[in-house]
Structure formats: structure tokens, C-alpha cells
């Protein structure tokens, strides 16, 4: 099976299953500990937004914060 086939199938999964798959894929990559911690934190933040625990900024809020 090609990576494009796997991607298509994975994108058809429910959001919770896609998050779990993403976590497993990232954890399967051998990375230095500091990078591993950063990836773990990034995944946690994505999950927070995806599950509605926190809300991201609108484009307008983001642009205002960057000024």
C-alpha cells in the first residue's frame, strides 16, 4: 500500500482516531529528548484545540498580537 493510500484512509477516520494515529506516528520516530519533549507538547496543544479544551486565535486576533 502506498503512503498516499494510507493518507487517504487515515483522513477518513474520526478526529479522535486521527489524533491517536498522529501521536503514534510521531512517537515512532527516534528523536533527541529535547525535540521529543517539544513534539509531545505540540501534540498536546493540537489535541487541546481539536477537542475544544482551548480555542485558537482568529486571524484578526493573531495579526493584532503580532503588531
Residue with cell 486565535: 57
The number of distinct structural domains making up the chain is 1
Q: What is the pLDDT of residue 32?
A: 64
Query: Which residues constitute the domain of residue 51?
Result: 3-66
Q: What is the pLDDT of residue 7?
A: 93
Q: What is the mean predicted confidence (pLDDT) over 27-45? A: 79
Task: Answer whether 0.85 is exceeded by the pTM.
Answer: no
Q: What is the mean predicted confidence (pLDDT) over 46-53? A: 90
Among 14, 17, 12, 23, smallest CA distance to 46 is for 23
Amino acid at each position: 500500500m502506498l503512503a498516499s493510500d494510507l493518507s487517504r484512509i487515515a483522513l477518513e477516520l474520526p478526529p479522535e482516531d486521527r489524533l491517536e494515529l498522529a501521536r503514534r506516528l510521531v512517537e515512532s520516530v527516534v528523536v533527541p529528548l529535547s525535540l521529543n519533549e517539544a513534539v509531545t507538547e505540540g501534540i498536546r496543544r493540537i489535541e487541546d484545540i481539536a477537542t475544544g479544551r482551548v480555542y485558537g486565535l482568529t486571524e484578526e486576533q493573531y495579526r493584532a498580537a503580532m503588531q
